Structure formats: structure tokens, C-alpha cells
Structure 1
Amino acid sequence: MAGASLLTLLDDISVILDDVSVMTKVAAKKTAGVLGDDLALNAEQVTGVKANRELPVVWAVAKGSFVNKLILVPAALIISAIYPPLVTFLLMCGGLFLVYEGAEKVIHRFWPHALPHDEEQNARRQANADETVDLVAFEKNKIKGAIRTDFILSAEIIVIALGSTASATLLERSLVLSILAIAITIGIYGLVAGIVKIDDAGLHLMEQEGNFKQKLGKVMFAAAPKLMKFLSIAGTLAMFLVGGGILVHGIGFLDHGVEDIAHLTGIFESVTTAILNGVIGFIIGAVIVGIFTIVGKMRDDDTKSATH
């Protein structure tokens, strides 16, 4: 009797694991687009860091990402069980943050005089140029920013994965989210670590014997800065695509409007949707940046008036 019960239990466990495996694959496919954005954004976050500090920074952000998942997975399960609309609201807040960050970067790049002087960025450049300066304090701010961005992208990934397991039991959903959270964190930050060390790997190959190794090393070394520049641009675009997508899906009339316009483009529907999400994301982000800039200037004027 005990043996039969054990076999039944093992059979139930096997069925659950099979279901979890299938649901994890489905969830991974549905989150693939966001994972690409996550990779681009996180690789872009380590630009400007000295070569010997790149891996420590990536490791620090990866640890923060694990903590994010440790918070987000149980929180998503609890919120979805108690009050599902709150998940959408929190995602909308995250979308606003992403488009704001993206718009601020674009405006600083193309219209630097439109925003207040970025003293922190200048200080970081001076510190990078000075070998005697300890960059830990500067890195901490960069790491905090990267972890905040990771939190928002991780939240979206987990919510999308949660939606793909709507018909599953609580145990199955918990296992799917946990497996996916661990796998994407290891995968994303493993790739980021590899990307930021391409130039070092190229230098190593250039120093080796053999014509092929040296040529490959030269190609890798020359490609590294171009790849980082591309990822920097892609990371900023991802902020608008992901953030804009979250906001569009959360605002009914925008969602329907984008769908209607994209549907008119036929086979390019998905591309049109992404472009419209990105444009809307930039517009909303620019408006938020403008509001914060005006409020900041008003506060500065009030402070100056109070001191005179």
C-alpha cells in the first residue's frame, strides 16, 4: 500500500514537472523580446567604466538583479492572487520611469543646453581620467541606476510569464517563475560579462602566435567599441520600446489606436506597432522631462530669491 502511494506521488511529481517544463518554454518565448531589450540595456549600463572594473560592476548589478527577482516573484504571485489590477498599475509606473530615463538621455545627447548641467557625468569623466581617484563611489551610482532599470524590466518579464501560466496551479506558477527568473539572470549577465570583455579577449588573441588568431583578435578588438556604441543606442531605444509598449497597453484608446494603424500596414504590422510604441514612449518621456525641468528651475529660482 505504501509502495503504491509512493509511486502515485512520484507520478504526480513527474506530471507537474512536465507541465512546468512546457509552461517555462512558452513563457520564455513570450518574454524573448523583452529579454533582448534587457540585454541591450544592461550592456549599455557598464559603458564608461574602466576596463579593470567592468566585471566587478557587472557582478554587482547581477547580484542586485537576483535580489530584484527574489522580491518580484513572490510579490507578483501575491498581488495577482489578491488584486490583479495593481500589477498593471505598477507596470505603468515602471513604463513612465523607463521613457523618462530614455528621453533624458536623448535630450542630453542632442540638446545638452536644454537641461540642467549634468555635474555627476562630468565628475565621472574626470575621475576616469585620473588614475589616483577611487571610482567606487561613482560606480555605486551607476550600479544603483542599472539595478533600478533591471527591476522594471524584470517586473515586465515576470508579469508576462505570469500571464502565460494563468490556468496553472499556484505551485506550477511558482516553479515556472522561479526557474525563469534564475535562468534569465544567469543568461543575461553572463552575456553582458562576455560582451564587455570582447576587447580584452581580442588583445589576448593578438598577442598569440598564429596568423588566424592575430587576425581574429584584431577584428574583435576593432569591433568592441562599435558593439558597445550599438548597444548603447539599442539600450536607449529599448527604453522607449519597452516603456512605450507598457504605457500603450495600459491606456485603452492608445492601444486600440496603435492596433488600428498597425493593422493597415499588413505584413509590417509588428514593426509598425514597435515604432509607434517607441514614438509614443519618447513623447511621453519628453513631456515628463520637461515637467521635471520646469519644476526644478522654479525651485532653484525660489531658493535664489530666498537667499537674497
Structure 2
Amino acid sequence: MGRMAGGLVALLDDIAALVKLAAASVDDVGAAAARASVKATGVVVDDTAVTPRYVQGLHPERELPIIKRIAVGSLRNKLLIILPVIMLLSQFLPWLLTPILMLGGTYLAYEGAEKVWEAVTGHHEEDLPTVVDEAQEDTVVSGAVRTDFILSAEIMVIALNEVADEPFLARLAILIVVALLITGLVYGVVALIVKMDDLGLRLAQRDSSSSQAIGRALVKGMPSLLSLLSTVGIAAMLWVGGHILLVGIDELGWHALYDVVHTMEGAVHGVAGVGGLLAWLVNTAASALLGLVVGAVVVAIMHLIPRRRGAATH
């Protein structure tokens, strides 16, 4: 009986150890997923800033269902298309990840520079048409999901790059968590933003003067919030895109540019109390400048090609 009891205690100890190990693994996956998600912040902010455009003109009762459809499409993009492709690449052609990541960084820089160009010249994208029937809803959802595909691909590749040294199954688990976390975060925030004016209108119709004041503030604050999100998104795209290019160039063997930035970081790192912050600001500013320069070159090319084609046809 004593041996049986001893064996049971040993078994329970083993089970407890396995549970602790599993819990630690879950914690590791969660921590890695959070770290990888933070690295994709520029694309996340851009995604959050872009998506509310797709529900403008909808009837209020259709806004949340449409956001849900776009979120499901985004999750399908990440889990069923992008994830299998990048996992195969990371397993069998890992050397391709840096060039692919740099292409994504270039696209981010281009998007950020294009928005700067629009702000400077006053040329903006045309507003989406007002949605009045189911067929137009389907068109809007399809357009949003296509745009999301590019942003989702960038998010997933950036996240993968952060955990490229992990074993295959760990990478897979982390990226699934990242896909769920980012999609929930982006479209949860989008839903809150879209419904902010509705909430404001309801509060403004109440008898309480304080509720009315809060309601009016929410309604008036909506355009400012979207404008702030857009500005932060532009800065984040230039910074993240430039940083991807800066690190990628260094990994491909061209060290001079990264060495200059590293030297500049070292020059301010020793400042008491704020050295770490100053070093981060130097790296961020250098990355954003590189992103702006590269993005501006791509914008110039993209605007020059249509003009040459137009001149050739005349």
C-alpha cells in the first residue's frame, strides 16, 4: 500500500511538473507573441487607421456586421494563406525572409511617403461610395479584405522575423497567437471608433447636462481622433519600414549605414538618466528618415511612370 501511495505521489509530482512546463511554454508563447506584435506596431496602426473608411456611408445597424465580416476575412488571410506560406519559407528557404521583409519595409515606406505627398500637395484618395445595398456591401468587404491582405502579410512576416530562431511548432503557435491577437485588437478598436459617434449622439439626447456635454465631445472628437490615428500611422509606417530596411541592409552585408546609426546611438547613450531614450529616438529618427527617402524615391517612380505612358500614347 505504501509503495502504491509513493507511486501515486511520484505520478502526481510528474503531472505537476508537466503542468508547470506546459504553463511555462504557454507563457513563453504569449511573451514571444506580444514581443512580435509590438514589432508590427506600424502596420497595426495603419490597419486601424485605414479600416474605418470602409464602413463610412453604412447604415448604423450594418456597421458592426460589416466590420465582423472584414475581421473574419482578415483572419482567413492570416491563418489559411499567409501563415502556411511563410512557415514553409522559414523552414526550407529561410534566406528569403530578409529580402521579403525588406520588400514589405519598402512598401511601408512607400505608403508613408505617399501619404506625406498627399498631405503636401492636397491630393487625397477618393472617398468610398455610400453603401446602399447588399451587393455594394460585398464589394466594400472584398476591397477591405484585399487591402488587409497586404497589411496582414507585413504583420505576419515582421512577427515571424522576431521568432525565426524558435523551433517550428513554437513559431507556428506564436504566429497563430499573433494573428488572433492583432486581428482582435485592430477590429475591436475599429468597432469602438466607428460606434463612438453613435454613443455620442445617444448621450447628447439624454436629460443630464454632463451626458450631453460628453456626447457632444465624442461626436466632435471623432474627426480629430481619425486624423490623429492617420498621422501616427504615417509616422509609424516610415519608422517601421525604414528600420526593416536598415536592419535588412546590414544583414545582407552592407554594414556602413547601420554602423553610422549605431555610432550616433552610442554618442548619446551615456547621457545620465535619458541615455536609453535618446538612443532609441536617434535610431527611430534615422529609420524614419531612411523610410522617407526610400519611400519618396518609389513615389517619384510610381508618379513618373504614368506620365511617361501618357506622353507615349500622344
TM-score normalised according to structure 2 size? 0.79
Shift of the 18–228 alpha-carbon distance from structure 1 to 2, 3 Å rule, reads same
Mean Cα displacement is larger for which, 225-234 or 266-275?
A: 266-275
How large is the Cα RMSD of the aligned pairs? 3.1
**1:260-279 mapped onto 2 (5 Å cutoff):** 260-266=263-269, 267=275, 268-279=278-289
Write the distance in 2 (CA, Å) between the matches of 1:264 and 1:95.
27
Question: Within the alignment, does 1:69 sit opposite 2:78 as a pair?
Answer: yes
Mean Cα displacement is larger for which, 260-269 or 14-23?
A: 14-23
SS at match of 1:251: helix
Shift of the 54–150 alpha-carbon distance from structure 1 to 2, 3 Å rule, reads farther
- 1:50 — aligned with what? 57
Question: Within the alignment, does 1:102 sit opposite 2:108 as a pair?
Answer: no
Residues 192-229 of structure 1, C-alpha deviation per residue, up to 9 Å, x if partnerless?
A: 21122212111111112323322221222222111111
> 1:99–1:282: 8 Å Cα contact kept in structure 2?
yes
Matched to 1:15, the amino acid is: L
- 1:159 — aligned with what? 161
**1:279-294 mapped onto 2 (5 Å cutoff):** 279-294=289-304
SS at match of 1:208: coil
Mean Cα displacement is larger for which, 138-147 or 232-241?
A: 138-147
> 1:45–1:146: 8 Å Cα contact kept in structure 2?
no
**1:12-161 mapped onto 2 (5 Å cutoff):** 12=18, 15-35=21-41, 37-48=42-53, 49-50=56-57, 52=59, 54-56=63-65, 58-70=67-79, 71-112=81-122, 121-122=125-126, 124=127, 127-128=129-130, 136=137, 137=139, 140-160=142-162
Alpha-carbon offset, residue 111 of structure 1: 2.3
Residues 103-129 of structure 1, C-alpha deviation per residue, up to 9 Å, x if partnerless?
A: 12221221257xxxx7xx44x36x45x
> Which runs of 5 or more structure 2 residues have no equivalent in the other structure?
251-255, 270-274
Shift of the 244–75 alpha-carbon distance from structure 1 to 2, 3 Å rule, reads same
- 1:249 — aligned with what? 247
Write the distance in 1 (CA, Å) between the matches of 2:156 and 2:91.
19
Write the distance in 1 (CA, Å) between the matches of 2:84 and 2:67.
25
Matched to 2:146, the amino acid is: K
> 2:101–2:157: 8 Å Cα contact kept in structure 1?
yes
Alpha-carbon offset, residue 242 of structure 1: 1.4
Residues 225-275 of structure 1, C-alpha deviation per residue, up to 9 Å, x if partnerless?
A: 111110011112221111111111101233222222233233211012111
> 1:57–1:143: 8 Å Cα contact kept in structure 2?
no
Matched to 1:62, the amino acid is: A
Write the distance in 2 (CA, Å) between the matches of 1:250 and 1:76.
17
TM-score normalised according to structure 1 size? 0.80
Alpha-carbon offset, residue 142 of structure 1: 4.8
Shift of the 58–260 alpha-carbon distance from structure 1 to 2, 3 Å rule, reads farther
> 1:42–1:146: 8 Å Cα contact kept in structure 2?
yes
Matched to 1:66, the amino acid is: L
- 1:240 — aligned with what? 238
> Which runs of 5 or more structure 1 residues have no equivalent in the other structure?
none
Question: Within the alignment, does 1:194 sit opposite 2:203 as a pair?
Answer: no
Larger Rg: 2
Write the distance in 2 (CA, Å) between the matches of 1:145 and 1:177.
20
